[in-house]
Amino acid sequence: MNENIELLDFYAEWCGPCQMMKPIIEELEKEIGDKVKITKVNVDENQNLASEYEVMSLPTFIIKKDKQIVDKISGEISKSELMKKLV
């Protein structure tokens, strides 16, 4: 069964931890971007979407499989932990 996996990365330019996660997300895009759709969501520009997903802190990562939310992570996470959750 081929699942459609998506990672939503909720961030803000002014968020220090978000900036620390940026290179990790970029590495994931290079490594698994063909298997996982990665969408970066600037909360300052997309407040409605952040509200819809009840994003209360940054960064927040939401993992969806077949359009269903399967995980929500707030704060920093290691690349290896995030990778485990995605594949």
Report which of 65, 66, 63 is spatially closest to residue 74, judged by C-alpha positions.
63
Asked if residues 70 and 7 have their Cβ atoms less than 8 Å apart, the reply is no
Segments making up each domain of the chain, as ranges: 5-79
Superfamily of domain 5-79: Glutaredoxin (3.40.30.10)
Transcribe 27-48 into DSSP letters: HHHHHHTTTEEEEEEETTT-HH
β-strands 5-11, 36-42 pairing: parallel
Per the omega criterion (within 30 degrees of 0), is the bond before 59 cis? yes
Catalytic sites, residue numbers: 15, 18
* Per-residue pLDDT tens over the stretch 52-72: 999 999 999 999 999 999 999
Q: Tell me the pTM.
A: 0.93
* Per-residue pLDDT tens over the stretch 1-50: 357 999 999 999 999 999 999 999 999 999 999 999 999 999 999 999 99
Residues 6 or more apart whose CB falls under 8 angstroms from that of 69 comprise 53, 62, 63
